[in-house]
Structure 1
Amino acid sequence: MTIELQPPVDDPIVVDDLERLSFRVDRRAYTDDDVAAQEMAKIFDRCWLYLGHESEVPEPGSYVSRDVGGRPVVMSRGSDGQVRVFANSCTHRGALICSQPAGQAKSFRCPYHDWTFSNQGDLVGVPIPDGYGPGFRKADFGLAQHRSDSYRGFVFVTFDPEQPRTLTEYLAGATEYLDLIDDQSEVGMEVIQGAQLHGAQANWKLMMENSVDIYHFRALHKRYVSYMQSLGSVPPRRRGGFGRSLGLGHGANELPPAAARPLAHWTPMFPEEVRPSIEATAARFVERFGAEHAERITGTNRALLIFPNLLIIDAIAITIRKIDPIGADRMAITSVALAPKDEDPEIRELRKSHYLTFLGPAGFATPDDIEIVESCQRGYGNRTVRYSDLSRGMNKEIPETTDELPAREFWRQWDRLMHGDDGHFEAAHQAELEGAEQL
């Protein structure tokens, strides 16, 4: 008879040993229901969470409704032009006040008792009002408004009324990468209409790791590598580029030069007839920013992780992934494409094609990624191997993109918050955190 011994309750989940250059994560972090419940309280109820993009609510009256951090919310641009985030819950008896994913509305009506709210959150209509006493005031029953803010069009929300950091403070070094994205247009960026909603039977943190993991590209995405080569393009090299810590759990991988960018970097993957347009765009960027910075904006691929739930893959196309946990072994994924508002129609069609071909839920890469994270989740069910290893690159002053620095920074912040830490850096990690700053 075999008796399975459970680890002590106070046993660390993240084992970060700088002396031995070892970084391990106990696999119960991916499988334990109690850990999943603690994450909702200590991370998703406290952090700034990515919700959407301002371009999704372009005009007064436009709105989107979606879940974030396990809570249904509505992002609405009021008739006054201001973007607000409301709890998608009637203040009377709690029903959803908005059941459509997106639309245009001057007001939101609860289907239960017809309580009606303006698109600025005020309660404006109550049937049979004489049923309430003289103390009843509509002003006391407006929609609950969550604290929200945006940076370069990216909208975040926090459910913590005592969140001490402003959004810009929270984003820390990630603002540099959001700038690189938003600077791709002089008139602004926009989400291309049509979101892909899917999921995976795996823990949400596996997708956060996977999306900043370049080490797996040639091994897991062999079909796409062959496809790129058949078109005369060069897939990402096994070596090169660099990984960066951006503070507070955020991280990025950057790969120069890009294999293909419909924005301003032509390769044989694209039709010859669009080459003049792409090269003309590249010349405009050089004029605006200078050759060096223009090359960084238009000629590099990058994967950005903003803790805890946002991934932006700025490569063949710009893909935004919002990840939401649904228990220990399931996640929901919202995926959209971002593009310059002033993009030439032929380039826009090319961008959409490449987004769907590689990063769409039925493309070359995403099904591979979903299958592999679900495979990991099933493998954890064996329980014989206790730890996953994320030590790659700890022996380097400047980690490469095939190393695991962004994932380690994600886990360090996860561990700090799960232990009630306020998220400040520990001095012991400064050498690894600052290595890429020399670039």
Structure 2
Amino acid sequence: MDDRIVVEDLEQLSFRVDRRAYTDDAVAAAEMTKIFDRCWLYVGHESEVPELGSYVSRDVGSRPVVMSRGSDGKIRVFANSCTHRGALICSQPSGQAKSFRCPYHDWTFSNQGDLVGVPIPDGYGPSFRKADFGLAQHQSETYRGFVFVTFDPEQQRTLPEYLAGATDYLDLIDDQSEVGMEVIQGAQLHGARANWKLMMENSVDIYHFRALHKRYVSYMESLGSTPPRRRGGFGSALGLGHGANELPPAAARPLAYWTPMFGEEVRPRIEATAARFVERFGAERAERITGTNRAVLIFPNLMIIDAIAITIRKIDPVGAGQMAITSVALAPKDEDPDIRELRKSHYLTFLGPAGFATPDDIEIVESCQRGYLNRTVRYSDLSRGMNKEVPETTDELPAREFWRQWDRLMRDEESR
């Protein structure tokens, strides 16, 4: 029996994924060492630590970390683990601090990671040096405000090299403001009883939109807006597992693309903003920045959905059959307050965990996970669009790019 999980046949235009990839505990364990311990992983956005001493703590690749802007202004990513006996040195999700104190024995570390305080230091011998016990610092890099970390000491790719063609899409996002983008305060933390890769597939799958999200389609039409069409746009493989779908203007974009669902009172300002983008970038790129809708998958577990509002989703595995999802909204720093409220409303209405779309997506990926328990059907099919030179957004090219990289890493065929 062929033991390959990803089975691609270019002659037959067939691309199949063995459902063991979603259900097998051994596969889930191998992913942590072969993928999450080797890739560049998204930590957060630099706007989340705007001031000296500000920090956020979260799990990245199942490892607790702290992203801190030190008193010297530099952003660092530390292991959230005391170098003495291992307890978390930061238990709050965010805040501002000059130092981090371990609650176990009061070892204290500066916001730059140095060990600065040890109670009863005369209990240690002459070879003990505080300089040897600073917080473990992970290799991190930033691209256009997006902070990534790698746990691989032999990582050979710089972050821009790793991001490959995805840098173009991060540029499109960061160029939406002349003064920078910022994460809107407040995160949605939820999950699903399904494998994490199902949500990665779902997030770049436009084929399901009108079938699964009928309520939202009806809601948009009732407000005079046009939902995404079944045809049109294009899908892209961006290299190293990254992919994107890009749609022509359809849904509302509070940045510089007005539709009736925003109301007439804001139309002049949105159209004036659109004109400024044309002045800055020219008509073609301005249209792409402000008008097109896109879903960008950055391998392995980051999704950026830039449609209606900008949503950053970090999708983390919790064993084979569960996932944890962290979702935040991104917006221009200089956005007018009422436009910001409009953005937040549309973000929550469609992309929030209690919105029109996300509950549909959670329910359907959980349905897939339950369906896999039958085990009679061995493979899932992701062949749609293989017969086209330029696949559309309703085809499955981005998902295939994800699975090709997944397969290379799991089979140790991809260099660091």
TM-score, length of structure 1 as denominator length: 0.93
Give the distance between the partners of 2:71 and 2:232, measured in 1 at CA. 49
Note the alpha carbon deviations across 1:195-239, whole angstroms, 9 max, x for none.
Answer: 000111100000000000000000000000000000000000000
Q: Is the 8 A contact 1:30 1:205 kept in 2?
A: yes
Q: Is the 8 A contact 1:258 1:265 kept in 2?
A: no
SS at match of 2:363: helix
Note the alpha carbon deviations across 1:130-155, whole angstroms, 9 max, x for none.
Answer: 00000000000000000000100000
SS at match of 1:234: coil
Note the alpha carbon deviations across 1:231-282, whole angstroms, 9 max, x for none.
Answer: 0000000000000010000000000123210000000111110001100100
Q: Is the 8 A contact 2:184 2:329 kept in 1?
A: yes
Q: Is the 8 A contact 2:226 2:250 kept in 1?
A: no
What displacement does 1:170 show?
0.1
SS at match of 1:194: coil
Note the alpha carbon deviations across 1:313-345, whole angstroms, 9 max, x for none.
Answer: 000000000011010001110000000000011
SS at match of 1:355: helix
Note the alpha carbon deviations across 1:399-421, whole angstroms, 9 max, x for none.
Answer: 00000000000000000000xxx
> C-alpha root-mean-square deviation of aligned residues, in Å?
2.5
Seen in structure 2, the aligned counterparts of structure 1 residues 10 and 134 have a Cα distance that, compared at 3 Å, is: farther
Seen in structure 2, the aligned counterparts of structure 1 residues 343 and 438 have a Cα distance that, compared at 3 Å, is: farther
Note the alpha carbon deviations across 1:105-141, whole angstroms, 9 max, x for none.
Answer: 0000000000000000000000000000000000000
* Counterpart in the other structure of 2:143: 151
Q: Is the 8 A contact 1:195 1:335 kept in 2?
A: yes
Give the distance between the partners of 1:197 and 1:83, measured in 2 at CA. 24
Q: Is 1:438 the counterpart of 2:406 in the alignment?
A: no
* Counterpart in the other structure of 2:23: 31
Give the distance between the partners of 2:282 and 2:250, measured in 1 at CA. 18
What displacement does 1:294 show?
0.3
Give the distance between the partners of 2:201 and 2:47, measured in 1 at CA. 28
What displacement does 1:10 show?
6.4
Q: Is the 8 A contact 1:258 1:315 kept in 2?
A: no
Give the distance between the partners of 2:164 and 2:250, measured in 1 at CA. 25
Q: Is the 8 A contact 2:41 2:61 kept in 1?
A: yes
SS at match of 1:438: coil
Note the alpha carbon deviations across 1:285-314, whole angstroms, 9 max, x for none.
Answer: 000001111000001000000000100000
Q: Is the 8 A contact 1:91 1:143 kept in 2?
A: yes
Give the distance between the partners of 1:162 and 1:269, measured in 2 at CA. 50
SS at match of 1:92: coil
Give the distance between the partners of 1:258 and 1:124, measured in 2 at CA. 55
Give the distance between the partners of 2:391 and 2:397, measured in 1 at CA. 7
Give the distance between the partners of 2:17 and 2:287, measured in 1 at CA. 37
Q: Is the 8 A contact 1:26 1:388 kept in 2?
A: yes
Give the distance between the partners of 1:380 and 1:438, measured in 2 at CA. 32
Which of 148, 161, 172 aligns to 2:164? It is 172
SS at match of 2:364: helix
Give the distance between the partners of 1:288 and 1:379, measured in 2 at CA. 50
* Counterpart in the other structure of 2:116: 124
SS at match of 1:34: helix
Q: Runs ≥4 in structure 1, deviation > 3 angstroms?
A: none
Give the distance between the partners of 1:57 and 1:17, measured in 2 at CA. 47
Which of 162, 184, 187 aligns to 2:179? It is 187
Note the alpha carbon deviations across 1:49-90, whole angstroms, 9 max, x for none.
Answer: 011000000011000000010100000000000000000000
Q: Which runs of 5+ in 2 are unaligned?
A: none
Give the distance between the partners of 1:98 and 1:82, measured in 2 at CA. 19
Give the distance between the partners of 1:364 and 1:200, measured in 2 at CA. 16
Q: Report % sequence identity.
A: 91
Seen in structure 2, the aligned counterparts of structure 1 residues 327 and 438 have a Cα distance that, compared at 3 Å, is: closer
How many residue pairs are counted as aligned between the two chains? 413
What displacement does 1:438 show?
29
Q: Is the 8 A contact 1:244 1:406 kept in 2?
A: yes
Q: Is the 8 A contact 1:116 1:125 kept in 2?
A: yes
Q: Is the 8 A contact 1:257 1:301 kept in 2?
A: yes
Q: Is the 8 A contact 1:319 1:359 kept in 2?
A: yes
SS at match of 1:269: helix
Give the distance between the partners of 1:102 and 1:148, measured in 2 at CA. 19
Give the distance between the partners of 1:106 and 1:219, measured in 2 at CA. 51
Give the distance between the partners of 2:407 and 2:159, measured in 1 at CA. 21
TM-score, length of structure 2 as denominator length: 0.98
SS at match of 2:261: coil
Give the distance between the partners of 1:28 and 1:256, measured in 2 at CA. 36
SS at match of 2:103: coil
Give the distance between the partners of 1:397 and 1:336, measured in 2 at CA. 35
